């Protein structure tokens, strides 16, 4: 019989803890809570946890300072840091720690659930988790920084390497310098058809011959805004089309499933 997976939540907010407990608890998975790092350390002396979720806003210590303390007690435990708000400086400090995942509470909680499931099913080792996808690089080209941030969260939670570009020109430069295994490409950027043009260039231009078979997934908010997708047949205009198409907002599991399918192909 498999041993019970144990998750420890260190968070002062009652509502968040209740939500996490409801979201994560199931047969074979137990969720516990404590309010401070000293209490967490005391628990860790007697209980092996598969994942620890620690919030930034603790009374005794900041979340990023708590990570090395927890890792000193159990170097193999997967630590997820959560925060109500995010800044570049804060994210830099958090990601400098040995964390499994960084979650912003304004994001979809299903993303956190997915990250926790990855953490508890990877044998208490981030390196084991990265072994499957760690060499796979995903380039996301989109002019919406908030979307890029969300994609970074989703992709890194599944241990993919994340690379981004905010405009088509930088996107083409990143293709050459980063050599991605798969590309997520927004359709509308500086102009209405930037994505179509960029896709055709990557799939058909001799300069990018090495990337002609690199899978491209179109991502677009057109359906959300207008109620339907583009009625634009790329082949009718002699253009190379994408390998797949996803509508925004993107559901994390759907995205990861499409990426896995295209990479296997």
Q: What is the pLDDT of residues 141-151, one digit of tens each?
A: 999 998 898 88
Under DSSP, the state recorded for 108 is: -
Ramachandran angles phi, psi of 234, nearest 5°: -60, -40
Q: Provide, rounded to the nearest whole percent, the portion of the chain with pLDDT above 90.
A: 38
Under DSSP, the state recorded for 57 is: B
Q: Which domains does the chain have, with CATH numbers?
A: 5-130 (3.40.50.2300), 134-264 (3.40.50.2300)
How far is CA 191 from each of CA 139, 156, 181, 194, rounded to the nearest angstrom?
A: 20, 29, 26, 6
* Residue 244 DSSP SS3: strand
* Residue 164 DSSP SS3: strand
Q: What is the pLDDT of residues 213-240, one digit of tens each?
A: 999 999 987 644 434 445 545 554 445 6
In this structure, of 33-42, 135-144, 189-198, the range with the lowest mean pLDDT score is 189-198
**pLDDT at residue 222, as a whole number:** 65
- Residue in 181, 180, 78, 91 with CA at minimum distance from that of residue 129: 78
Ramachandran angles phi, psi of 216, nearest 5°: -125, 130
Global pTM exceeds 0.85: no
**pLDDT at residue 2, as a whole number:** 63
**pLDDT at residue 59, as a whole number:** 83
Q: Which residue has the tokens 């803890």?
A: 17
**pLDDT at residue 207, as a whole number:** 92
Q: Provide, rounded to the nearest whole percent, the portion of the chain with pLDDT above 70.
A: 87
Q: Is a pLDDT exceeding 60 seen at residue 130?
A: no
**pLDDT at residue 251, as a whole number:** 81
């Amino acid at each position: 019989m498999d041993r019970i997976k144990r998750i420890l939540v260190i968070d002062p907010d009652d509502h968040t803890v209740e939500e996490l407990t409801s979201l994560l608890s199931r047969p074979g998975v137990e969720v516990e809570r404590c309010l401070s790092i000293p209490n967490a350390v005391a628990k860790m002396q007697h209980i092996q946890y598969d994942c620890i979720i620690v919030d930034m806003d603790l009374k005794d210590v900041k979340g990023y300072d708590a990570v090395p303390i927890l890792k000193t007690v159990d170097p193999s435990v997967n630590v997820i840091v959560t925060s109500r708000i995010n800044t570049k400086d804060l994210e830099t400090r958090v990601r400098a720690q040995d964390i499994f995942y960084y979650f912003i509470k304004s994001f979809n909680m299903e993303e956190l659930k997915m990250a926790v499931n990855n953490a508890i099913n990877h044998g208490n080792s981030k390196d084991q988790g990265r072994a499957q996808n760690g060499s796979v690089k995903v380039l996301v080209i989109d002019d919406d920084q908030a979307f890029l941030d969300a994609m970074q969260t989703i992709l890194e939670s599944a241990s993919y390497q994340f690379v981004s570009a905010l405009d088509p020109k930088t996107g083409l430069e990143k293709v050459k310098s980063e050599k991605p295994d798969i590309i997520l490409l927004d359709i509308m950027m500086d102009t209405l058809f930037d994505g179509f043009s960029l896709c055709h260039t990557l799939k058909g231009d001799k300069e990018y011959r090495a990337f002609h078979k690199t899978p491209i997934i179109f991502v677009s908010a057109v359906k959300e805004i207008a109620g339907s997708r583009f009625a634009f047949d790329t082949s009718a205009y002699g253009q190379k089309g994408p390998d797949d198409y996803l509508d925004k907002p993107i559901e994390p599991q759907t995205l990861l499933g499409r990426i896995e399918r295209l990479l296997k192909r």
